[in-house]
Amino acid sequence: MGNSQGKKRLIALSTLICALVVVPGLAGAASTTASTPQPLMTIAVANNSSRDILHLYLSPVDHDAWGPDLFSEGTILRVGETFTISDAACTGNEIKVIAEDRQGCFVYGLISCAQGSAGWTITDATPPDCGN
């Protein structure tokens, strides 16, 4: 009977030691993942099209909802100009950049998040989405 109680105590002690070692490690891994900052990028948007750009947005590739307009009131990306987006947060492998012209047409570009900086050039060959 004493041998049986000793085995039970040994099993209980082993279980307690495993719990003390494993659980804090799992909690630490979860908090590291949750607190890992999203990579930030710099994106240079060049307007080499024949139309002015009035609004610029960012979005994760798989989302239909866009972030806020990146242009301050009255900002226009005129033909031949470049606008730099600083500290764009990448939540995946790519980020979507959306530009809107005076006619309410949108153009889209996908930027790889693999580098800390990238560029997107809007040209007349970039197909617009005018809601048609």
Tokens read off for 121: 């050039």
Domain boundaries of the chain, sorted by first residue: 1-36, 40-123
Backbone angles phi, psi at 76, to 5 degrees: -135, 135
Note whether 53 and 128 are within 8 A (CB): no
Tens-level pLDDT at each residue, the chain (132 residues): 556 666 666 555 555 454 544 444 444 444 444 555 567 889 999 999 999 999 999 999 988 889 999 999 889 999 999 999 998 988 888 999 999 999 999 999 999 988 889 999 999 999 999 987
Q: 0.85 cut: is pTM over it?
A: no
- The CATH class for the domain spanning 40-123 reads mainly beta
